[in-house]
Amino acid sequence: MSRAPESIALPPAMRASVLRERGVVVLEERPVPAPDADQVLVRIESVGVCGSDVHYYRHGRIGDFVVDAPMILGHESAGTIVAVGADVDPARVGQRVSIEPQRCCRVCKYCKRGEYNLCPRIEFYATPPIDGSFAEYALIQDDFAHAVPDGMSFDAAALLEPLSVGIAAVRKARIGVGDSVLIAGAGPIGAIIAQVARAYGASAVVVTDPVERRRHTAVGLGATEACAPGDAALDGRSFAAFFDATGVTSAVVDGIKRVEAGGAAIIVGMGDDDMLLPVSYITSHEVNVTGIFRYNNTWPTAIELVASGKVDLDALATDHYGLADAEIPLRDKPAPTTLKSMVHPQR
């Protein structure tokens, strides 16, 4: 039997940072949404700014996904459940949660085999036409609102989303104990992959990045070594797995050529739609080249990695903004010290 929705006192309206058109973000007032029977309403406390948010702001599209109507950006988010739908346990009100920001159909062949990230009817936060979480409140299905420990900060809980990308990438590469790993890019995703690779048993994790400060940060967050792209320290070395977190064609090609026979190259970064890859090397060395499209079934692992101290996400949250200033990290080039900008809708 369905129960009537439970909630705490809520305002009738909320603030939301809305992408009106390419390069234009406006703070608007919108009604606080009411949860469907299988949903919860989350009071959003922290949202990470992703490269996809920046891309939509600056270019109005990513591939076939085109912003042709006003849309709320933001999909790396966490907060507190403040209302539940009729079919959700009312005891969930008050829980601190990390949001897995997608809704799949649950009946297609991809959903049935657990690869729901590939669902052709997927609805993903801040992907046209679905609104995201640069807002004071947001809805998500009950089972995609993952409870987090009280000791986990809201910033870390929000960043379980990019951590999930790292987990999906490392799982694809089938990293094992003692493996060596090369990562191009020491931004937040590169730093996350470095930590996850170590947690999965990699003994050597080498990160390349042109920015010296980021190289130092990567070493502090799990990398065993960091160097500039093309550094002589890489000469003659090969790796069980290569991860690209840059989207730069030259980095992808160079990394693939450093994968040992039978190894894996995982393309995570967003770059050119088309790249010329070293096919003769790929075939002669049987390099398994694949990409990552979001994630599936990663949140329990992500929560455990953070709760156990194997992954540090708080160190990535370097810059902080209130909702009224959400356009700043979208518009401005990040400082060399910036890893992850966080928007706090309640400020």
- 199, 310 in Cβ contact below 8 A? yes
Predicted local distance difference test score (pLDDT) of residue 161: 98
pLDDT band at 276, cuts 50/70/90? Answer: very high
Higher pLDDT, 286 or 5: 286
Residue 139 has pLDDT above 70, yes or no: yes
Helices and strands per DSSP (H, E), number in the chain:
10, 20
- Whole-angstrom Cα distance, residue 320 to residue 343? 6
Q: Mention every residue, 6+ apart, whose C-beta is less than 8 A from residue 171.
A: none
Residue 3 has pLDDT above 60, yes or no: no
Tokens of 160: 């379980």
Neighbour-count burial of 311, counting CB atoms closer than 10 A to its CB (0-12 exposed, 13-18 middle, 19+ buried): buried
Kindly state the average pLDDT of the residues 254-262.
97
Kindly state the average pLDDT of the residues 103-113.
97
Kindly state the average pLDDT of the residues 323-329.
97
Residue 19 has pLDDT above 80, yes or no: yes
pTM of the model: 0.94
Kindly state the average pLDDT of the residues 182-190.
96
Which CATH topology does 13-159+313-344 take?
Quinone Oxidoreductase; Chain A, domain 1 (3.90.180)
Domain extent listing, the chain: 13-159+313-344, 166-291
Buried/exposed code over 96-109 (b: 16+ C-beta within 10 A; e: otherwise) = bbbbbbbbbeeebe
Model pLDDT for residues 77-101, shown as the tens digit of each residue: 999 999 999 999 999 999 999 999 9
Kindly state the average pLDDT of the residues 14-26.
97
Model pLDDT for residues 48-87, shown as the tens digit of each residue: 999 999 999 999 998 889 999 999 999 999 999 999 999 9
pLDDT band at 337, cuts 50/70/90? Answer: confident
The H-or-E segment that residue 29 falls in is strand 24-31
Kindly state the average pLDDT of the residues 101-107.
97
pLDDT band at 7, cuts 50/70/90? Answer: low
Q: What homologous superfamily does CATH list for 166-291?
A: NAD(P)-binding Rossmann-like Domain (3.40.50.720)
Predicted local distance difference test score (pLDDT) of residue 6: 53
Higher pLDDT, 337 or 174: 174
Kindly state the average pLDDT of the residues 316-342.
95
Mean pLDDT of the chain, nearest integer:
95
pLDDT band at 227, cuts 50/70/90? Answer: very high
Tokens of 259: 């994968």
